[in-house]
């Protein structure tokens, strides 16, 4: 059988169909009995409200008929949205069984996720019947993503009234074919492997295909695999497709294949690097951008983003812009230039902001307001944002923002300033994680294609500072990052109340209260920010829709205490 691990672009029905047809042709040449594509392969996942556009679902069904016509000697399981006027929702998340030149039957996904980034109940009517088909002497049960995972891979499970896996096995399935578009989340892969191995250990062959690549904020790690009956494990990558990229491979299900992932590491830094590179590469490619633009400060955040961008599209396609002010240290300027040299960036122009800053202050002096302190600091940040966006307009390069999750959580980022840009590659990395990933990249530079450590050691070792006033450091305004990140993790990843954060971490109540309140208040900034690549279970973005005008428990506690 053939695993067609594809990297579809949402909405590119013709391009996606062409990739599926190429995979069918390969499977035919290799005399494969069955080819399995990812979930929603014809349209791409997640389609979101593009599904509602006139004619989209009908074009997908026509594409499925084209694919079926090519399937003369092999059977293909093809994911697509099926128009469904008979149900409460207009479509079904469906699988076409293509064989002998026709669509033999259609299976509809039965469990529809509606949590985190998923909103399938908005569009799809669930199926109500299992599908088990005969292929080359095997009884193959068809499942689509949540039909198997049941949210146990991310949230601890959901209450569903049926179990499609059990229903398939009761109907005599000897093998399971799983079509998935399961987004990457740090740590999820181990849960997937355990679930699939447990199924195979019961004597059922498992053929699991996952989408690869990235669409918008979501990254898909692929890692499609075959595990033979009994769960016997071979040596990776015998039964695996590559991670984070398209890969079409044919396997013999009767053989004891499987194996452990080759992408594991102690703290997940290796796979995080691969995921972010994939996210940057596909976002640029699928939005029609050939180059990227980054503001280089000499700090660790911009250095890491620049390194990831260079890995994704090559340093020759990345421009780093230095925008020093009178507060910028010579060390920071040197570190920024060193970053550009280490990565062989296309250019690293130095555009001082002092004259523009002075002119803007003079202009604002005509008002009755005072622009000292924070207002003056934000002027500098917004000038830098304006410069980057102007260069972006002139060059066509996409601006990558450099803010991390800790900054975005607490509002330690300037709206229309350092938040300007189209994509936030490290917006789901806590500051402490940024350090870990940067150190890993330098330690294993050869593995990631560099001839030397790509990040200046000084950018990692020096005290972090925005350099918007004399002798400024981040810790003038923020707690130490290990303390702050423990609060952010509790508030965002766990959605904990202040009391729970204090009890779990031992952080003093006043600190936990202040920064929990800041996290809640800064939602208005995040709602206007760049697209953030999702790397953790609770990322800022579509999967965490929070009110802007509201009263949080932190605010209530503050009111009670005063």
* DSSP per-residue string spanning 289-328: ---EEEE--SSHHHHHHHHHHHHHH-GGGEEEEB---TT-
Q: Domain with 187 in it: what CATH number? A: 3.60.110.10
Within a domain: residue 168? yes
**Which of these is catalytic: 71, 75, 98, 145?**
145
Q: What is the pLDDT of residue 236?
A: 37
Whether residues 81 and 136 share a domain: the answer is yes
Whether residues 207 and 281 share a domain: the answer is no
| Helical segments of 30-119, H only | 56-70
Q: What is the pLDDT of residue 472?
A: 83
Last residue of a domain, one of 240, 263, 286: 263
Asked whether the predicted pLDDT for residue 256 surpasses 60, the reply is no
CB neighbours (10 Å) of residue 264? 13
Whether residues 93 and 229 share a domain: the answer is yes
How would residue 557 be classed by pLDDT, with cut points 50, 70 and 90? low
State both tokens at 39: 């979930």
Bridge partners (DSSP) of residue 91 are: 83, 124
- What are the percentages of helix, strand and coil residues in the chain, rounded to 5? 40, 15, 45
Q: What percent of the chain has pLDDT over 70?
A: 93
Whether residues 333 and 449 share a domain: the answer is yes
Per residue in 189-240, pLDDT (tens digit) is 999 988 898 888 888 989 999 999 999 999 999 999 998 887 654 333 356 8
Within a domain: residue 522? no
Per residue in 482-514, pLDDT (tens digit) is 999 999 999 999 999 999 999 999 999 999 999
Average pLDDT estimate for 61-69: 98
Within a domain: residue 479? no
Whether residues 334 and 457 share a domain: the answer is yes
Last residue of a domain, one of 223, 239, 263: 263
Cβ atoms of 531 and 216 within 8 Å: the answer is yes
Q: Domain with 357 in it: what CATH number? A: 3.40.50.620
Cβ atoms of 207 and 253 within 8 Å: the answer is yes
| 238/402: higher pLDDT | 402
**Which of these is catalytic: 60, 75, 109, 420?**
109
**Which of these is catalytic: 39, 82, 120, 377?**
39
Q: What is the pLDDT of residue 233?
A: 44
Average pLDDT estimate for 354-372: 92
Looking at residue 222, the DSSP 8-state letter turns out to be B
Whether residues 383 and 445 share a domain: the answer is yes
Please give the model's pTM, rounded to 2 decimal places: 0.94
Q: How many domains does the chain have?
A: 2
The answer to whether 39 is a known catalytic residue is yes
Whether residues 274 and 259 share a domain: the answer is no
Nearest partner of 410 among 358, 478, 351, judged by Cα: 478
With H, G, I as helix, E, B as strand and everything else as coil, classify residue 370. Answer: coil
Per residue in 307-348, pLDDT (tens digit) is 999 999 999 999 999 999 999 999 999 999 999 999 999 989
Average pLDDT estimate for 167-171: 95
Q: What is the pLDDT of residue 253?
A: 67
What pairing do the DSSP bridges indicate for beta strands 423-424 and 531-532?
Answer: parallel
Average pLDDT estimate for 162-184: 96
State both tokens at 365: 């002096």
Within a domain: residue 215? yes
Q: What is the pLDDT of residue 151?
A: 85
Per residue in 533-556, pLDDT (tens digit) is 999 999 999 999 999 997 666 665
Whether residues 308 and 234 share a domain: the answer is no
CA distances for 328 relative to 145, 334, 375, 417, 472, angstroms = 50, 11, 18, 17, 10
Average pLDDT estimate for 141-158: 86
Within a domain: residue 488? no
Whether residues 12 and 34 share a domain: the answer is yes
Bridge partners (DSSP) of residue 132 are: 141
Within a domain: residue 549? no
Q: What is the pLDDT of residue 153?
A: 77
Last residue of a domain, one of 209, 239, 263: 263
Whether residues 347 and 210 share a domain: the answer is no
pLDDT averaged over the chain? 92
Asked whether the predicted pLDDT for residue 415 surpasses 60, the reply is yes
Q: Give the separation between CA 294 and CA 399, rounded to whole angstroms.
A: 6
Domain of residue 22, residue span: 2-263
Asked whether the predicted pLDDT for residue 261 surpasses 60, the reply is no
The answer to whether 145 is a known catalytic residue is yes
Looking at residue 38, the DSSP 8-state letter turns out to be P
Within a domain: residue 277? yes
How would residue 558 be classed by pLDDT, with cut points 50, 70 and 90? low
Q: What is the pLDDT of residue 234?
A: 38
Within a domain: residue 68? yes
Match 């500098």 to its residue by tokens: 380
Whether residues 275 and 407 share a domain: the answer is yes
Whether residues 93 and 239 share a domain: the answer is yes
Per residue in 449-481, pLDDT (tens digit) is 999 999 999 999 998 888 788 888 888 888 999
Per residue in 229-254, pLDDT (tens digit) is 876 543 333 568 999 999 999 988 66
């Amino acid at each position: 059988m053939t695993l067609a691990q594809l990297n579809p672009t949402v909405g590119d029905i013709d391009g996606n169909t062409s990739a599926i047809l190429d995979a069918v042709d390969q499977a035919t040449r290799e005399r494969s009995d069955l080819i399995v594509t990812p979930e929603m392969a014809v349209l791409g996942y997640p389609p979101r409200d593009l599904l509602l556009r006139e004619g989209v679902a009908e074009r997908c069904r026509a594409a499925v008929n084209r694919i079926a016509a090519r399937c003369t000697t092999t059977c293909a399981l093809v994911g697509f949205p099926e128009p469904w006027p008979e149900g409460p929702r207009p479509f079904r998340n469906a699988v076409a069984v293509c064989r002998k030149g026709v669509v033999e039957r259609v299976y509809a996904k039965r469990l529809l996720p509606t949590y985190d980034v998923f909103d399938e109940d908005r569009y799809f009517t669930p199926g109500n019947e299992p599908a088990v088909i005969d292929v080359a002497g095997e009884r193959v049960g068809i499942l689509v993503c949540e039909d198997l995972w049941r949210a146990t891979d991310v949230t601890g499970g959901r209450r569903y009234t049926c179990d499609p896996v059990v229903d398939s096995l009761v109907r005599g399935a000897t093998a399971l074919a799983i079509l998935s578009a399961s987004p990457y989340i740090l740590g999820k892969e181990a849960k997937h492997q355990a679930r699939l191995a447990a199924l195979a250990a019961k004597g059922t062959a498992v053929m699991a295909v996952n989408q690869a690549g990235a669409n918008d904020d979501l990254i898909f790690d692929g890692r499609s695999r075959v595990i033979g009956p009994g769960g016997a494990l071979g040596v990776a990558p015998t039964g695996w497709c590559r991670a984070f990229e398209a890969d079409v491979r044919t396997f013999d299900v009767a053989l004891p294949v499987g194996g452990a992932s080759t992408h594991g590491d102690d703290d997940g830094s290796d796979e995080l690097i691969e995921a972010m590179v994939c996210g940057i590469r596909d976002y640029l490619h699928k939005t029609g951008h050939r180059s990227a633009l980054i503001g280089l400060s000499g700090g660790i955040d911009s250095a890491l983003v620049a390194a990831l961008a260079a890995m994704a599209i090559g340093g020759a396609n990345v421009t780093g812009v230095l925008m020093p002010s009178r507060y910028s240290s010579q060390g920071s300027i040197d570190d920024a230039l060193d970053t550009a040299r280490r990565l062989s960036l296309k250019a690293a122009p130095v555009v001082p902001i002092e004259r523009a800053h002075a002119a803007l202050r003079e202009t604002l002096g005509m008002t009755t307001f005072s622009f000292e302190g924070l207002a003056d600091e934000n002027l500098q940040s917004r000038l830098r944002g304006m410069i980057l966006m102007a260069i972006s307009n002139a060059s066509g390069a996409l601006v990558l923002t450099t803010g991390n999750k800790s900054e975005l959580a607490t509002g330690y980022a300037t709206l229309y300033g350092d938040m300007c840009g189209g994509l936030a590659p490290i917006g789901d990395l806590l500051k402490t994680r940024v350090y870990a990933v940067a150190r890993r990249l330098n330690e294993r530079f050869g593995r990631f294609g560099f001839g030397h450590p790509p990040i200046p050691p000084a950018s990692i070792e020096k005290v972090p500072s925005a350099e918007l006033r004399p002798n400024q450091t981040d810790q003038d305004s923020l707690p130490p990052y290990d303390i702050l990140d423990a609060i952010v993790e509790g508030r965002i990843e766990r959605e904990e109340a202040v009391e729970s954060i204090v009890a779990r971490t031992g952080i003093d109540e006043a600190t936990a209260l202040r920064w929990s309140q800041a996290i809640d208040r800064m939602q208005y900034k995040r709602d206007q920010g760049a697209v953030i690549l999702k790397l953790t279970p609770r990322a800022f973005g579509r999967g965490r829709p929070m009110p802007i005008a509201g009263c949080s428990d932190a605010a209530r506690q503050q009111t009670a205490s005063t």
